[in-house]
Amino acid sequence: MSDTGKPRNSSHPGLYTLQNCEECFHNIICRSADGILIISADGIVRFVNPAVESILCRSAAEMLDKPVCFPLGSEEKQEILLNPPDQGSRVVEMCLTATEWEGEPVRLASLRDVTERKRVEEQLRQKTAQLEELNKTLLEKVQEEVDKNREKDHLLILQSRQAAMGEMIGNIAHQWRQPLTAISLLVQDLGECYVYGDFTKDYLDTTIRNALKVIQHMSHTIDDFRNFFSREKEKTAFSVGEVVTRSLSFIESSLRFNNVAVEVDIDDNLLAFGFPNEFSQALINIISNAKQAFRERSITEPLIRIQGGREGKRAVITITDNAGGISEQIIGKIFEPYFTTRQLENGTGLGLYMSKTIIEKNMDGKLTASNVEGGACFRIVI
């Protein structure tokens, strides 16, 4: 006996004898987990191993010398579905091979129960489908939220622009008040001259020239405001001092009306890179807030100081007021959308939120607020 317990040829220990060989094959076939079935050319079962009995749930006696109990297709490899009584349906994988058995042509069918594998595969397929569905809905949900956010941002921008426009219209009204008075005086004068007989061609020409000059100035004001609201598509290098001066010119009448003094101290060569109109919009929001704080708190000598300098490669602009500052309870919230303490004048609470968006999101800068002696200080780094 060999060490594996199998009989060997005693003169040649490495070789099995013919008889031993048969015994060995019989053993292997009997112990194989795959079913082995020999079927004659006319479909009669000639041999089954024990595995076939358990796969087909029939005894060898029930099958031998009888027609095979499942349809034999022509394919070499096929799957057959079995429904044995009192058991669930089973899937059997079958491989058919043509061979010989005791001198006659037969087919050898090797059977393997793949029910469990199929069940696991089906589970996996279902889980994959569920995951794909989940993934899809997750993507849809993310997209939905992104769209909602974009819509919200869009609405915020629209609202804040409308608010800024409302303010601008107020500023235009301020800017126009004086030229309108001038024109009305010129027209009144014309009538009076005619009544008193001083009306000459020269006088008429001068009056027309003066009136046209004033009207031209008014038209420039409108152009300036319109340019201010035109959207810039590309970032450009701009002079900070120039943009500050232009921004102040938009609101100078209303600042003057509120007795607000403005001190500007900015390097002539101070350049920044970004969207000058948007920067101007942020500046006007900050200056308007200071103006409102002066009014609410009845500050007697309101002063806004605008300073600009360079820190490394970046431009730093500070806007400081003497309106008493921002209380510590709210200073952390002033940049949130819709945060406002203004009840009387119906603040939208979008001014600083938009300013921060412009400076930080659109221009990669930084906008912060702090309290300094006597007031608030807004610091822009771009």
Ligand X SMILES: Nc1ncnc2c1ncn2[C@@H]1O[C@H](COP(=O)(O)OP(=O)(O)OP(=O)(O)O)[C@@H](O)[C@H]1O
Residues that bind ligand X (CB under 6 A): 163, 285, 289-290, 293, 321, 323, 326, 334, 339-342, 347-353, 376
Q: What is the DSSP string of 11-66?
A: SSTTS--HHHHHHHHHHHHHH-SSEEEEEETTSBEEEE-HHHHHHHT--HHHHTTS
Shortest spacing between CB 302 and ligand X, in angstroms: 11
Q: How far is residue 355's CA from residue 91's CA, in Å, rounded to a whole number?
A: 69
Q: How many CA atoms lie within 13 A of 19 on its CB side?
A: 3
What, of Mg ion, ligand X, none, does residue 307 touch, CB below 5 to 8 Å by kind? none
Q: How far is the CB of 349 from Mg ion (least distance, A)?
A: 8
274 binds, among Mg ion, ligand X, none (CB under 5 to 8 A by kind): none
Closest Cα to residue 173, out of 131, 212, 121, 222? 222
Cβ contacts of residue 321 below 8 Å, gap of 6+?
Answer: 290, 293, 294, 302, 303, 304, 305, 375, 376, 377
- 356: nearest Cα among 156, 171, 145: 156
Judged by CB, which is closer to ligand X: 273, or 339? 339
Task: Select 244 or 334, whichever has its Cβ closest to ligand X.
Answer: 334
User: Do 55 and 114 meet the contact criterion of CB atoms below 8 Å apart?
Assistant: no
Token pair 């970004």: residue: 274
Residue 163 partner contact from Mg ion, ligand X, none using kind-dependent CB cut-offs of 5 to 8 Å = ligand X
**CB nearer to ligand X: pick between 38 and 260:** 260
Are the CB atoms for 247 and 255 separated by under 8 Å? no
- Please report, for the chain, how many H helices and E strands are present, in that order: 8, 12
Shortest Cβ 191–ligand X spacing (Å): 43
Q: Which one, of 82, 86, 111, 84, lies nearest residue 96 by Cα?
A: 111
Nearest to 286, CA basis, from 272, 268, 306, 266: 306
State the binding partner of 349 from Mg ion, ligand X, none, CB within 5 to 8 A by kind.
Answer: ligand X
Q: State the binding partner of 171 from Mg ion, ligand X, none, CB within 5 to 8 A by kind.
A: none
Beta carbon nearer to ligand X, 172 or 331? 331
> Residue 60 or residue 165: which is nearer to ligand X going by CB?
165
Q: Which does 323 bind (CB under 5 to 8 A by kind): ligand X, Mg ion, none?
A: ligand X
Per CB under 5 A, the list member of 308, 351, 365, 375 interacting with Mg ion is: 351
Shortest Cβ 254–Mg ion spacing (Å): 14
From the list Mg ion, ligand X, none, pick the one residue 342 interacts with, judged by a Cβ distance below 5 to 8 Å according to partner type. Answer: ligand X
Torsions phi, psi of 347, nearest 5? Answer: -70, 145
In the list ligand X, Mg ion, none, the entry touching 348 (Cβ below 5 to 8 angstroms by class) is: ligand X
Minimum distance between the CB of residue 286 and Mg ion, rounded to whole angstroms?
8
| Per rule CB under 5 A, count of chain residues that contact Mg ion | 2
CB of 230 to ligand X, least distance (A): 21
What minimum distance in Å lies between the beta carbon of 374 and ligand X?
Answer: 11
> What is the nearest approach in angstroms of ligand X to the Cβ of residue 355?
7
Q: Which residue has the tokens 């009056």?
A: 207
Distance CA 129, CA 302 (A): 68
Q: What is the DSSP string of 184-241?
A: HHHHHHHHHHHHHT---HHHHHHHHHHHHHHHHHHHHHHHHHHHHHSPP-S-EEEEHH
- Among Mg ion, ligand X, none, residue 283 binds (CB under 5-8 Å by kind): none
Whole-number minimum distance, CB 177 to Mg ion, in Å?
A: 23
> Which of the stretches 86-94, 116-124, 285-293, 310-318 binds Mg ion when contact is defined by CB under 5 A?
285-293
Span 287-346, contacts to Mg ion by CB under 5 A = 289
Q: Pick between residue 243 and residue 377 the one whose CB is nearest to ligand X.
A: 377
Binding positions for Mg ion, rule: CB under 5 A: 289, 351
